[in-house]
Chains A and B, each alone.
Chain A
Amino acid sequence: MTVPTEKAGPEETPPGSRPAPEAIRAIPVRHYGRWISTLVVLALVYLILNAFAGADVNYGAIPDFLLSASVLEGLGATVLISLLAMAIGLVLGVVLAVMRLSKNPVTSSVAWTYVWLFRGTPVYVQLMIWFNLALIFPYINLGFYRDEMSDFMTPFMAALLGLGLNEAAYMSEIVRAGIQSVDEGQTEASHALGMTQGKTLRRVVLPQAMRVIVPPTGNEFLNMLKTSALAASAAQYEELLLSAQNIGRVSGAVVEMLFLAVLWYLILTSFFSIGQFYLERYYARGSLRQLPLTPWQKIKVNVAGFGNRGGLG
């Protein structure tokens, strides 16, 4: 005989020496809130879609230009400047973090000052200053390289320096947090084996710090993809937004081209988020007994066990 109870969720009966008691077949708690919220969300989505469908937008123009040469060029420029600026930010960020944590008071205060300066000023202003550097330094002379500043500081160079150096300030704080999250015992064990400070950092501390560093770095990179749009107006760098706007100005489809840019930014950020998932999974090895399933593995599991709810939340 089964007695309906109000217990939520089926529970496994522990195996015992006595005959196993009958499994509980309870009626689950009804989640009325879920039904109500579904209705509310559907109504809101309908209203929003309706509003945009009725708006004075020529949606047909978006697919027409989605893959046009100048949009793709701008897209490439956005990706290129983001990757390069991030690379500068990452390398310089690690260097600054190590400097900041070093016992040498000179290097640590240099790193502190750098972060203070670049994190404390708008990146838009930094980009404008780099681009207009020729006004205060007409010539660049690095000893091995001399040129007129206006020839050297192209929109690309200004965007690269502006975004990269600004990013380094943020990255150094992220890397510092990561390094400090690694247990002191790891450094001691490594030193006890005769490894030097540098080796310890490279082989033992940084690989473990990556688990803490990667998620906010992914965040930074998505931010970078979007912030690179500032380089358009501050340094005339022709990236995605600017090339979309140029088309809009010529064709008269101003808002449509903004939507087009929005679409591309979403595609870009989605694509790189997937990359971040796999990177996090890689650096989780050793610290989790079981790595999280990839989306592909999840689909396989779900298809195999369809209807078999419960277990994994």
Chain B
Amino acid sequence: MTPMVKSEGVHKSFGATHVLKGIDLEVAPREVFCLVGPSGSGKSTFLRCINHLEKINAGRLSVDGQLVGYRQKGDKLYELKEREVAAQRRDIGMVFQRFNLFPHMTAVENVMEAPVQVKRESKAAARERAVKLLDRVGLGDKTNNYPAQLSGGQQQRVAIARALAMQPKLMLFDEPTSALDPELVGEVLDVMRGLAEDGMTMIVVTHEMGFAREVGDSIVFMDDGVVVESGHPREVLTNPRHERTKSFLSKVL
């Protein structure tokens, strides 16, 4: 079975700052894969490399057997055209820490936008599906609200519905609950839990260790651009082997 995501020796620098120093990992289909670590460890950057929001400098990164952002012919790599990169991204949903909803569109318009503009779905069909998706994340009564009229938790749930509207095979979550009031974290995690139960492949950068332990199939602890420790969440979170993992977990748990 081809892994959903395969990363081999991925390096990434911003100018002189070396952020990723050789990341090797594999994510299986239907797996919930949690990335944890201190801020600045490179976990968000790695997530953004998976849908080519950031270009990697070395190594190989592929999604569902396809190289991200490049095409290999013989031993030469060719950069993909903008249109081809966009096509690759269609199948990868992403949810951001700051929601990044389109503020000039209502909730339902946010969800319809990509199916109509990218997949050329009819507006009526896209709207019908969008309303169903908003219903699924518990916002069936907020379809015509603008993002500014929604709470943080509601905005993040709209953002999840927006990503799901493209029927992705992989969902990336970049600290989806870090910008939320503690009270609102639960409603977003509930939606993510539901997604995991439906068999969605998910890569989640998070500080919610409870979620990782309960829903995660595997966990990776990153620090300073390298994978320090990986394994099953219960194993890693209760019996960390590395000192660095121990000291990090003692602070967040």
- Which residues on A sit within 8 Å (CB–CB) of B32? none
What does the 1/0 interface line of A168-212 toward B look like (CB < 8 Å)? 000000000000000101101111111111010001100110000
* A285 at interface, CB cutoff 8 A: yes
Q: Return B54 CB to nearest CB of chain A, in Å.
A: 10
B118–A194 CB distance below 8 A: yes
- Which residues on A sit within 8 Å (CB–CB) of B106? 286
- Which residues on B sit within 8 Å (CB–CB) of A18? none
* B113 at interface, CB cutoff 8 A: yes
**CA–CA, A289 and B93, complex, Å:** 29
Which B residues, 112 to 169, have Cβ-Cβ distances below 8 Å to chain A? 113-114, 117-118, 146-149, 159, 162-163, 166
| B118 to chain A: closest residue by CB | A194
Q: Assuming A289-B148, A289-B149, is B86 touching A191 (CB within 8 A)?
A: yes
Q: Return A214 CB to nearest CB of chain B, in Å.
A: 13
- Which residues on A sit within 8 Å (CB–CB) of B56? none
Q: Assuming A185-B98, A199-B117, A285-B146, is B104 touching A191 (CB within 8 A)?
A: no
A193–B163 CB distance below 8 A: yes
B146–A194 CB distance below 8 A: no
Q: Return A188 CB to nearest CB of chain B, in Å.
A: 6
| B146 to chain A: closest residue by CB | A286
A192–B94 CB distance below 8 A: yes
What does the 1/0 interface line of B48-83 toward A look like (CB < 8 Å)? 000101000000000000000000000000000011
Q: Return A226 CB to nearest CB of chain B, in Å.
A: 32
B114–A195 CB distance below 8 A: yes
Give 17 A-B contacts (CB < 8 Å), ordered by A residue. A185-B100, A189-B101, A189-B159, A191-B86, A193-B89, A193-B113, A195-B86, A195-B117, A195-B118, A196-B82, A199-B117, A208-B102, A208-B103, A285-B146, A287-B103, A289-B148, A289-B149
Give how many A-B residue pairs fall within 8 Å (CB-CB).
74
* A288 at interface, CB cutoff 8 A: yes
A188–B114 CB distance below 8 A: no
Q: Assuming A194-B90, A199-B117, is B100 touching A286 (CB within 8 A)?
A: no
Residue from the set B102, B148, B163 with the largest chain A CB neighbour count within 10 Å: B102
* B211 at interface, CB cutoff 8 A: no
| A198 to chain B: closest residue by CB | B82
Q: Return B151 CB to nearest CB of chain A, in Å.
A: 13
- Which residues on B sit within 8 Å (CB–CB) of A287? 103-104, 148
Q: Assuming A204-B102, A208-B103, A287-B148, is B96 touching A194 (CB within 8 A)?
A: no
**CA–CA, A118 and B86, complex, Å:** 37
* B92 at interface, CB cutoff 8 A: yes
Q: Assuming A185-B96, A289-B148, is B103 touching A191 (CB within 8 A)?
A: no
Q: Assuming A192-B89, A193-B118, A199-B117, is B148 touching A186 (CB within 8 A)?
A: no
- Which residues on A sit within 8 Å (CB–CB) of B162? 193
**CA–CA, A191 and B172, complex, Å:** 14
Q: 4 extra interchain contacts, Cβ-Cβ under 8 A, other than A192-B163, A203-B117, A289-B148?
A: A188-B96, A193-B90, A286-B146, A286-B147
The 4 A-B residue pairs with the shortest CB-CB distance, nearest first, are: A194-B90, A189-B100, A193-B114, A192-B94
Q: Return B201 CB to nearest CB of chain A, in Å.
A: 16
B96–A189 CB distance below 8 A: yes
B89–A286 CB distance below 8 A: no
A285–B104 CB distance below 8 A: yes
A191–B146 CB distance below 8 A: no
* B105 at interface, CB cutoff 8 A: yes
